[in-house]
Amino acid sequence: VPVELVRNVEATLGVRFTIIFGQTEASPCITGTHLDDTPEDKAETLGQPLPQTEVRIIDPATGETLPTGAVGELCTRGYLVMAGYYNMPEATAEAIDAEGWLHTGDLASMDERGYCRIEGRLKDMIIRGGENIYPREIEELLFTHPAVGDVAVVGVPDPKWGEEIAAFVRPAPGTSPTADELFAFVRAHLAPYKAPKRWIFCDSFPTTPSGKVQKNVLRARLNEGGSGGGEAPRRGARQRPEEEEAVAPS
């Protein structure tokens, strides 16, 4: 959340609050900030592991613990971890390894103080030409563009690169951003290979009852009628009544 939002909430309500991070399999929470943490830490991090709770960031491919600042899967171990899913031994074995570490499926990093930052979901990570790309990084940048009201970045199959990057964008009211404009914006701030090739402009996103964007539905839309690989339709081709897809320059 924006740092100013944290400051405004605490100033307006006259209270201090904490940020906590957890999941059902590790109830009630894994990490948390402190009441006297800075607004920046409350806005940008998940805080530190709770007492008697172990947290490590691992390489999803090798299981090795990663160095400070590196992005990998957040795993936790301790009294808070569930015994297992009821009558689902295979699912339990997939979630909790032989050493008792719960694999959360969340991508995160940890700084030298032990404060964690969420970077996205492991299942949402895009591997393009052997490079790991985290949609959250691209989304957070695009959120700063004045013509972007909302955005969701997904990976779609591509015969050349393995996966290609696609961005669904809901334009801000009164604006009409173009693929060329947003592509150039991303290229100016991130590595070239992180710039989405396919841009889909839409009026709304499919969401869960809790309000989370259903990226699996967005990926399915791009894959309708084919593998989803290769070049996108010509600029301006209509995909749905509320969507328009464009291809960024190479």
Burial class (CB in 10 A: 0-12, 13-18, 19+), 101: buried
Q: What is the pLDDT of residue 166?
A: 96
Domain boundary among 93, 123, 153: 123
Structure tokens at 100: 């008792």
Per-residue pLDDT of the chain (250 residues; tens, 9 = 90+): 778 889 999 999 999 999 999 999 998 899 999 999 999 999 999 999 999 999 999 999 899 999 999 999 999 999 999 999 999 999 999 999 999 999 999 999 999 999 999 988 888 899 999 888 999 999 999 999 999 999 999 999 988 999 999 999 999 999 999 999 999 999 999 999 999 999 999 999 999 988 889 999 998 888 874 323 333 333 333 344 356 666 766 6
Q: Could you tell me the residue range of the domain that residue 177 belongs to? A: 125-247
Q: How far apart are CA 48 and CA 34, in angstroms?
A: 9
Euclidean distance between CA atoms 188 and 181, whole angstroms? 11
Tell me which of 107, 123, 139 is where a domain ends. Answer: 123
Is residue 23 left, alpha or beta, with left meaning phi > 0 and alpha meaning psi from -120 to 50? beta
User: Which pLDDT score, from 0 to 100, does residue 243 have?
Assistant: 60
- Single pTM value for the model: 0.71
pLDDT at 51: 95
In this predicted structure, what is the pLDDT of residue 191? 95
CATH of the domain at 10: 2.30.38.10
Number of compact structural domains in the chain = 2
Looking at the structure, tell me whether residues 25 and 96 fall in a common domain.
yes
Q: Are residues 13 and 74 in the same domain?
A: yes
- Give residue 228's pLDDT: 33
> What is the rounded CA–CA span in Å between residue 78 and residue 82?
9
Same domain, 157 and 75: no
Paired with 150 in beta bridges are 170
Cα 148 from Cα 182, distance rounded (Å): 9
Dist. CA 149–CA 28, nearest whole Å: 33
For residue 232, the model assigns a pLDDT of 36
Predicted confidence at residue 239, as pLDDT, reads 40
In a shared domain, residues 79 and 191: no
Q: Do 103 and 176 sit in the same domain of this protein?
A: no
In terms of domains, do 129 and 154 share one? yes
Residue 163 pLDDT: 92
Residues 119 and 136 in one domain: no
DSSP run (H or E) holding 6: helix 3-13
Q: Own/partner pairs for 68-73, CB < 8 Å, 24+ apart?
A: 68/110, 68/111, 68/112, 69/109, 69/110, 69/111, 70/109, 71/107, 71/108, 71/109, 71/119, 71/132, 71/134, 72/107, 72/108, 72/109, 73/103, 73/104, 73/105, 73/106, 73/107, 73/108, 73/122
